Chain A
Amino acid sequence: MSTSHAKQAEAYLQNDAVATRHDATFYGVRQKRDKMAQALPEWEQLRDAASQIKKHTVTHLADYLEQFAARAEANGVHVHWAKDADEYNAIVLDILSSHGVKKVVKSKSMLTEECHLNQHLEAQGIDVVETDLGERILQLMHLAPSHIVMPALHVHREEIGDCFRRLGLMDEVKDVPVPEDPNDPTCLTYVARMHLRRQFAEAGAGMTGANFGVAETGDVVVCTNEGNADMSTSIPCLHIVSMGIEKLVPDLSSLAVFQRLLARCGTGQETTVYTSHFRGPRPGGEMHIVLVDNGRSTILADSEHWQTLKCMRCGACMNTCPVYRRSAGYSYSYFIPGPIGINLGMLRDAAAHSGNVSACSLCMSCDQVCPVQVDLSQQIYRWRQRLEAIGQANAMKKLMSQGMTILFNHPALYTATLRLSPAANWLPSALMNSALNPWARGHQMMKFPKKSFHALWNELSKKS
């Protein structure tokens, strides 16, 4: 009866210490987010505004894209359009090849993960260097991100230290005294800093994602804490921006709303350290923006799920999700985990990712924290209703539902069954609590009461 998520989660939960730590880490981020929200009297107004601005923008997206592209081109930027991942990968490869680029430094972009850009470029002999510290750690360890904002928090310092030592990164840093803990995060970060600064100096191009595009001005806005997007675009002269078409906001006044929400919701900070506006190429440099659809225009037509296009990838829904916190990113089959990832995975390929829709207790916490008010849990509920239609309904549950339909539609049968249920109490415990009974997993089977609620109610009514 288990879904793919449930099976993966079960394996993950075998290590109680790891799971408990993961849970505490992300609940800590959730609590920091709460403090941010409580510190602003206008918090709910901001969420309302953010949701309304996004609803307006994505339902007028063609107009705003034209305005944005025209502004960017007037600012001297090359604008490209890619309808799918293949086209996107080909455009980026074209730009890099025509400039003879052998190494590219890259700041974090979920879009490039979505399109598998790195693999595509590497197959053509281009060295792709992730520059966000977490992403670089994962890249060196050949792991996938487990979270969209804090991608490597599931990896422990010992594993990172071992990886750095194995690859010789430690030897490249001569001036750092060896600390008591050889895996001290400050020391490891310094080693990575020196390693990455060499990469910036050697790279022929810098690639960034876009947190926001401003239609009115043509600005691409990139927010980071590390400054890696800025290093990637201040040293190499060629800058390529990869941007999903839903990233637009109309103007700078709208941007203020999102800038204030993004870091508060994502990591519980008032702001990211850097909020950089790119409005054109550097002197003597080149700037390219690749606008990518890859299924987004199709989502717009889906009356039940189009509001996923409002998402700004802050990660708040993951941090608050009790299922994500206790099952971690790799339990989900889609590369974006948590409530938004469940929905985006279903929109990408429902047959491939229906194993994630069970990863929700319908507690609705994600709906409450989402800065743009995406109805995440309700969307997950709706996917569950559609499992039968897409041929992904669970056979056992289907059978049980059919049985219950008969039971609930026949009061006499229902009452008779209820009267007989205490008989189950006489079954040997070994049978009731066996592995065959999924309801007995993790806890003892309940005792059926001698009298049902109905029976008690009737007795009381007669007495009074």
Chain B
Amino acid sequence: MERTQQEIMNSKDKILAALRQNVRETYDMPELDALEGISYPDPVAQFIQKTTTTAGARLIEMHAGDDVNSLIRQAYPEARLLASNVPGVEAQMNPDTVSDARELMQVDVGILQGHIGVAENACIWIPQTMRQKAVCFAPQQLVILLRREDIVSNMHQAYERIRLSSEYFRDYPFGTFISGPSKTADIESALVYGAQAARAVTVILSD
């Protein structure tokens, strides 16, 4: 069924005209500055607590002198195939240079750089900074690197940072918040980790 450009335009015009005609009373946009999201005296402590409880991830605090590569190996000692393009991280596969996204489905651990941590829900903002974003979802496990200073209390603050940044969505048109491993409770409400994406997540928190 070939549809001409004219028909498509017609539907757009029809929908917009109907919406304009059918509006009865209009309402103003509320002032959102007045809405204060919950804030924590120690957002880092709250973030750690949420990450290791409800989000179901592990968390390693990195100290001065620690080597990130040995922490990754410690977290997943049995992993054979690692994928990352994070500078300084040793990995056999690079999501910038794989020829096909499917290759990343074989990966044991994907290592990602987190940019914002959110204390209220353990979300970590991961803008796409690699050619194949499959590295964020397809590996069996993830390690997410995050700096303590990048932790905010709530989603209002996180979205404010995203809004003001020119860095995100610049190289690739995608970004995602990830809060722990993939989960499902679709069979009799039993919580199971690792539905389709990562089965386990370790957050490495650094200064």
Contacts and interface: CB of A to CB of B under 8 A. Distances in A.
Interface of A: 25, 28, 40-42, 45-46, 48-49, 52-53, 55-56, 59-62, 65-66, 69, 75-76, 80-83, 87, 90-91, 93-94, 131-134, 137, 150-153, 156-157, 160, 185-186, 188-190, 192-193, 196-197, 200-201, 217, 225-228, 230-231, 234-235, 245, 250-257, 259-260, 267, 269-283, 291, 293, 297-298, 300-301, 303, 306
A344 to B, nearest CB: 17
Q: Which of A90, A200, A270, A281 has the most CB of B within 10 A?
A: A270
B121 A254 contact: no
B182 A227 contact: yes
Contact of A65 (B19, B24, B177): B19
Nearest to B132: A234
Contact of B18 (A59, A75, A235, A298): A298
Given A256-B159, A300-B19, A156 B188 contact: yes
A49 B29 contact: no
Contact of A56 (B2, B11, B17, B29): B29
Contact of A49 (B32, B169, B184): B32
A167 to B, nearest CB: 16
Interface of B: 1-3, 8, 11-12, 14-30, 32, 34-38, 50, 54-55, 101-102, 105, 118, 120-123, 131-134, 136-138, 154-156, 158-160, 162-163, 169, 172-190, 192, 194-198
B196 A193 contact: yes
Nearest to B156: A256
Contacts of B137: 227, 230-231, 234, 274
30 contacts: A45-B35, A52-B27, A52-B29, A52-B30, A81-B12, A83-B14, A93-B1, A133-B186, A134-B184, A185-B188, A196-B196, A225-B183, A226-B184, A231-B134, A231-B197, A235-B138, A245-B19, A256-B158, A257-B32, A271-B122, A271-B123, A273-B179, A274-B137, A274-B178, A275-B176, A276-B176, A277-B174, A277-B176, A293-B15, A300-B23
A275 B187 CA distance: 22
B206 to A, nearest CB: 23
Contacts of B18: 293, 297-298, 300
B24 A306 contact: yes
A274 B12 CA distance: 31
Q: Tell which of A42, A69, A256 has the most Cβ of chain B within 10 Å.
A: A256
Query: Closest 9 CB pairs between A and B?
Result: A227-B197, A280-B173, A226-B195, A270-B121, A134-B186, A301-B22, A297-B18, A185-B190, A271-B121
